[in-house]
């Protein structure tokens, strides 16, 4: 899992076979650039590791929801994990809809439930009793049975950043084991509910496997218990969360994860559903930005770039680390800089305390920005969302246009109408 799709040849950096500078010239900066081969490679690694397990990979749409990316992932025989009606609309917009969708999230609205019911998804991942009640009554209206899994919160410490930890008992997600069993018993009595699975997702960017092991053991205990009360499942959804290396973190090999699935869960002969996001798309993308100013002071030096926290929120939100390469001048230098954007917030930084050498107009690449990069971006400070490019060997194409000022104001009715 390294970035070998980015290479340096004769002082130029290439993403696959395309010179990154050419993309900057053609499309401007800031820019998200993805490698198609990297995405395909990641999926096939996972598919191969899982080859003797009956499984379905449901890509977490929230990690990167660009339609061209989703299309590529769909063509690699994946389904999708969605967390909103909008994400389901994206999946349907791809065409050839096959219903390989699981719907996660604590706040599914009535409209979202109706929409997903109409489209016969694999499972609603139920996160509370009121949600189950609501689903049953909506399904009754449609005279349809709704497929469900119940999301178990196994109370394991995912040992990741608190904002991306979801499997502790004081997180808002899922139900503890006792409550989950009660809910299964209730679901079994409901006329418009069809129990198909069990679900969990304990957090994101897990680099150590032991929390998965604890979770799988708890899932297995629950499945045993469910069997004793006459509840049989079709699938076991083990969520996503496998981490990637952003800053030389040690990552446990995929095979160990798969061995654990085999050890604890294969004996049930159920389909294993996985919901990876970051693992598939994280390493495949970079954020390319241009240096605007070098600002030095006695205490601190700053590189001010044209990308900001609205384009890549992870450093501000989670204190996340992204490696940075100055592709115009890859020498490290001996000065230490914070790399910051133009937004009027102290939290607007992309990197802190980096030894790097840079001057005005240099191009910097923020690595491993494919997941939770563009999909978390906003228009804060009236900044148009940036363009996205997909590279495929020597080819590249624009997969999302840079927004314009008119895009930003188009919903501000009164003034837009006046203008017309």
Ligand X SMILES: *Cc1c(COP(=O)(O)O)cnc(C)c1O
Which range of residues in 198-206, 327-335, 380-388, 401-409 is near ligand X by CB under 6 A? 198-206
User: Between 317 and 356, how does the x/- string for binding to ligand X read (CB under 6 A)?
Assistant: ----------------------------------------
> Would you say 81 or 362 has its CB closer to ligand X?
81
CB of 274 to ligand X, least distance (A): 9
Q: What residue has token string 């969605």?
A: 82
CB of 282 to ligand X, least distance (A): 7
Render 41-96 in DSSP notation, one character per residue.
HHHHHHHHHTTTS-EEEEEEGGG---HHHHHHHHHTT-EEEESSHHHHHHHHHTSS
CB of 164 to ligand X, least distance (A): 7
Which of 84, 104, 196, 310 forms a contact with ligand X (CB under 6 A)? Answer: 104
Which of 36, 74, 108, 201 forms a contact with ligand X (CB under 6 A)? Answer: 201
E-state strands within 341-386:
349-355, 363-366
Which range of residues in 110-118, 273-281, 351-359, 385-393 is near ligand X by CB under 6 A? 273-281
Helix residue ranges per DSSP H, 159-253: 177-188, 210-228
> Would you say 14 or 103 has its CB closer to ligand X?
103
> Would you say 152 or 386 has its CB closer to ligand X?
152
Retrieve residue 184's tokens. 């299964």
CB of 96 to ligand X, least distance (A): 23
CB of 327 to ligand X, least distance (A): 27
252 CB-contact burial (10 Å; exposed 0-12 / middle 13-18 / buried 19+):
middle
> Would you say 192 or 318 has its CB closer to ligand X?
318
**375 near ligand X (CB under 6 A):** no
CB 273 within 8 A of CB 228: no
> Would you say 154 or 240 has its CB closer to ligand X?
240
Q: Which of residues 234-253 bind ligand X (CB under 6 A)?
A: 239-242
CB of 87 to ligand X, least distance (A): 11
> Would you say 23 or 46 has its CB closer to ligand X?
46
Inter-CA distances, 217 with 243, 262, 263, Å:
20, 12, 10
SS3 266: helix
Retrieve residue 408's tokens. 């930003």
> Would you say 57 or 327 has its CB closer to ligand X?
57
User: Between 276 and 295, how does the x/- string for binding to ligand X read (CB under 6 A)?
Assistant: xxxx----------------
Q: Which of residues 17-56 bind ligand X (CB under 6 A)?
A: none
Question: Helix 210-228 and helix 177-188: axis angle, to 10°?
Answer: 40
The catalytic residue among 58, 78, 200, 344 is: 344
E-state strands within 358-404:
363-366, 387-392, 395-400
Q: What residue has token string 């598919």?
A: 47
Retrieve residue 22's tokens. 């050419």
User: What is the Cβ-side half-sphere exposure of residue 105, based on CA atoms within 13 angstroms?
Assistant: 18
CB of 279 to ligand X, least distance (A): 6
Retrieve residue 217's tokens. 């053991």
Cα dihedral 23, 24, 30, 31 in deg (nearest 10): 0
Helix (H) or strand (E) holding 14: strand 12-15
Which of 63, 65, 128, 289 forms a contact with ligand X (CB under 6 A)? Answer: 63
Tell me the number of residues near ligand X by CB under 6 A: 19
Which range of residues in 41-49, 90-98, 197-205, 343-351 is near ligand X by CB under 6 A? 197-205
CB of 237 to ligand X, least distance (A): 9
Q: Which of residues 71-100 bind ligand X (CB under 6 A)?
A: 81, 83
> Would you say 290 or 314 has its CB closer to ligand X?
314
Q: How far apart are CA 287 and CA 294, in angstroms?
A: 19
344 is catalytic: yes
CB 73 within 8 A of CB 42: no
Q: How far apart are CA 80 and CA 102, in angstroms?
A: 6
Q: Give the residue numbers annotated as catalytic, written as ranges.
A: 344
Binding residues (CB under 6 A) for ligand X: these are 60, 62-63, 81, 83, 104, 201, 204-205, 239-242, 275-279, 371
């Amino acid at each position: 899992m390294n970035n070998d799709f980015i290479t340096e040849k004769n002082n130029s950096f290439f993403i696959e076979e395309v010179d990154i500078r050419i993309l900057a010239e053609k499309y401007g900066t800031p820019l998200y650039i993805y490698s198609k081969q990297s995405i395909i490679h990641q999926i096939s690694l996972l598919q191969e590791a899982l080859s003797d397990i009956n499984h379905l990979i449901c890509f977490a749409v929230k990690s990167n929801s660009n339609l061209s990316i989703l299309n590529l992932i769909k063509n690699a025989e994946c389904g999708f994990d969605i967390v909103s009606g909008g994400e389901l609309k994206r999946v349907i917009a791809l065409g050839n809809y096959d219903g390989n969708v699981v719907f996660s999230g604590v706040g599914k609205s009535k409209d979202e439930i109706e929409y997903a019911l109409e489209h016969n998804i694999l499972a609603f991942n139920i996160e509370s009793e009121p949600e189950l009640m609501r689903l049953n009554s909506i399904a009754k209206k449609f005279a349809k049975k709704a497929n469900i899994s119940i999301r178990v919160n196994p109370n394991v410490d995912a040992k990741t950043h608190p904002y991306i930890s979801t499997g502790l008992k004081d997180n808002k997600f899922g139900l503890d084991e006792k409550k989950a069993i009660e809910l299964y018993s209730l679901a079994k009595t409901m006329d418009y509910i069809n129990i198909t699975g069990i679900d969990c997702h304990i957090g994101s960017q897990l680099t150590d496997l032991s929390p998965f092991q604890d979770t799988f053991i708890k899932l297995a205990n629950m499945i045993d218990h469910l069997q004793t009360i006459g509840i049989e499942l079709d699938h076991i959804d083990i969520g996503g969360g496998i981490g990637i290396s952003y800053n030389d973190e040690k990552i446990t090999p995929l095979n160990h994860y798969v061995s654990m699935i085999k050890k604890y869960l294969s004996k049930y002969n159920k389909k294993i559903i996985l919901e990876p996001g970051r693992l598939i798309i994280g390493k495949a993308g970079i954020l390319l930005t241009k240096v605007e100013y070098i600002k030095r002071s006695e205490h601190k030096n700053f590189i001010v770039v044209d990308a900001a926290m609205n384009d890549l929120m992870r450093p501000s939100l989670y204190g996340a680390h992204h490696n940075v390469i100055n592709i115009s001048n890859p020498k490290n230098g001996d000065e230490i800089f914070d790399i910051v954007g133009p937004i009027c917030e102290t939290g607007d930084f992309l990197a802190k305390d980096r030894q790097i050498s840079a001057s005005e107009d240099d191009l910097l690449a923020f690595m491993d920005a494919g997941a939770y990069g563009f999909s978390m971006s906003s228009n804060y400070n009236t900044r148009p969302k940036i363009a996205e490019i997909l590279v495929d060997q020597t080819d590249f194409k624009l997969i999302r246009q840079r927004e314009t000022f008119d895009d930003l104001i188009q919903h501000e009715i009164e003034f837009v109408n006046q203008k017309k």
